[in-house]
Structure 1
Amino acid sequence: MQLVLAAVAAVVASSGAARAEVVDVQPNGFEVRHALHLAVPPDKAYAALVDIGRWWSPDHTFSGDSANLSIEPKAGGCFCEALKDGGSVAHMRVVFVAPGKMLRLEGALGPLQTLGVTGHLAFALKPQDGGADLVLTYDVGGYAKDGFAGWATPVDHVLGLQMARLKAYAETGKP
């Protein structure tokens, strides 16, 4: 898995297509940020973004199948995952929607759900050079017994992988 993440990071870095960083880490939280250019207009980028089951990595789901993921793009909507036998996971709640411009969600992704934390995940789209610039920020805060120093970098890497997959899906139809 780390080899895959390193390969993705190397490809993204060498293409100049994305900028990623752990912006800040404090004892009570952290912020990560990813910026990339999509060679599609903002409305098409947004449509791809909310079609999350088509591009999110199955390696970062509870069910092992990205097709079980969905985002209901309206305030109060759910970024959810269906599990077999009728189970489900609410990954995040949609708090702001401006189609083609902005999607904001709140909640704790993946293993962060086991901590006393919440997060704010924002996807901002802006028209640029015949396509769209996308900036993702994820701010996480709350209580983690050993602090957040060990969480920021892995979360940054996973979100970087997801952004590379989103870019590929938006531009080619395949993650």
Structure 2
Amino acid sequence: MRKAITCAAGYLAFTAPAFAEVKTSSDAGFNSVHIASVKASPDEIWKRLIAPKDWWNKSHSWSGSTEGFYIDAQANGCFCELFQEKGADGKVKTVGSVEHMRVIFSQPGKVLRMQGGLGPLQSEAVTGTLTVAMEPSKDGQSTKISFSYVVGGYMRYKVSEIAPAVDSVLGDQFRRLLTPFASATEDTASVDGFSLDVENLKDEGPAEGTEKALEVKSDNDTGDEQAPAPK
């Protein structure tokens, strides 16, 4: 059975300028970040994102095929791989499965966050959190997208060795995801001014009238000011 993460043998022809690096690293873990801007809408990218069988590299699968890959894009949904074989009757049957990650946050066209130790990290006592964030340009002609994978906990690997390997494979998957889309800019994408988390989701604030309601004192208030006695 193949390891789901090994050093990538090569990259596809996707050449969009992108920010890519092991952004932070310590004995406790690391953070791998990949960012690019492409000529596509968030909905177009999302549709492809949740169909991993169409873009995940089968070299980093457990079964040697991506035909059984799927993402159930809702909280507690599975990014899973089914082990499938053809029986004597010629019909495909599932003979096993593996969970790559578990969905913990899903807002179509904006954020998909999943937790799981990819590849050899699955057998370690680590938490890996992958946040895929999307932000459309003001003119609606392009979208900036990022992969940010944060890993922390105890592992039997040296961070200095496993972090670059994971970063390399994650970059390969990132490029494969974006292969159908043309680069949107000649400028190098960067983290500056772009949220990799859900902080960019707007807080709608209190409903109309809520602030006034909060100012009304109850009968149990003990403040100095007293409500006027009824006439």
Tell me which interval the TM-score lies in, with the shorter structure as reference length.
0.7 to 0.9
Q: Does 1:137 find its partner at 2:152?
A: no
Q: Where do residues 99-114 of structure 1 align in structure 2 (5 Å cutoff)? A: 99-114=108-123
Kindly state the Cα deviation for residue 16 of structure 1 after the two structures are TM-superposed: 4.6
- Give the whole-Å Cα distance in 2 for the aligned partners of 1:56 and 1:169: 13
Q: In structure 2, what residue type is equivalent to 1:142?
A: G
The answer for unaligned runs of 5 or more in structure 1 is none
Cα shift at 1:145: 2.7
In structure 2, the residue matched to 1:22 is 22
What is the TM-score of this pair, normalised by structure 2? 0.67
1:116/1:144 contact within 8 Å kept: yes
- RMSD of aligned residue pairs (Cα, Å): 1.9
Are residues 1:158 and 2:154 paired?
A: no
Question: What is the 5 A alignment of 1:1-175?
Answer: 4-5=9-10, 8=11, 15-84=15-84, 86-128=95-137, 130-169=141-180
Q: Deviations over 1:14-35 (max 9, x none)?
A: x452210001111111100000
The one-letter code of the counterpart of 1:92 is M
Q: What amino acid sits opposite 1:48 in the alignment? A: R
CA contact (8 A) 1:124 1:136 kept: yes
> With structure 1 as the length reference, what TM-score do the two structures score?
0.87
Provide the secondary structure at the position in 2 that maps to 1:83.
Answer: strand
Q: CA deviation at 1:107?
A: 0.8
Measured in 2, the distance between the counterparts of 1:33 and 1:108 equals 16
CA deviation profile, 1:49-97 (whole Å, cap 9, x unmatched)? 1111110000010011112110000000000000135210011100000
- Percent identity over the alignment? 37
SS at match of 2:173: helix
Determine which structure has the larger strand proportion and give its number. 1
**Residues 16 and 43 (structure 1 numbering): CA distance in 2 closer, same or farther, change over 3 Å?**
closer
The residue type equivalent to 2:79 in the other structure is F
Contact 1:41 1:131 in 2 (8 A): yes
Distance (Å, rounded) in 2 between the aligned partners of 1:16 and 1:55: 17
- CA distance in 1 between counterparts of 2:7 and 2:155 reads 23
CA apart distance, 1:116: 1.3
In structure 1, how many angstroms separate the alpha carbons of the residues matched to 2:147 and 2:156?
A: 27
Give the distance between the partners of 2:154 and 2:9, measured in 1 at CA. 30
Residue identity opposite 1:108 in structure 2 = G
Relative to its length, the structure with more helix (as a share) is 1
Letter in structure 2 aligned against 1:42: P
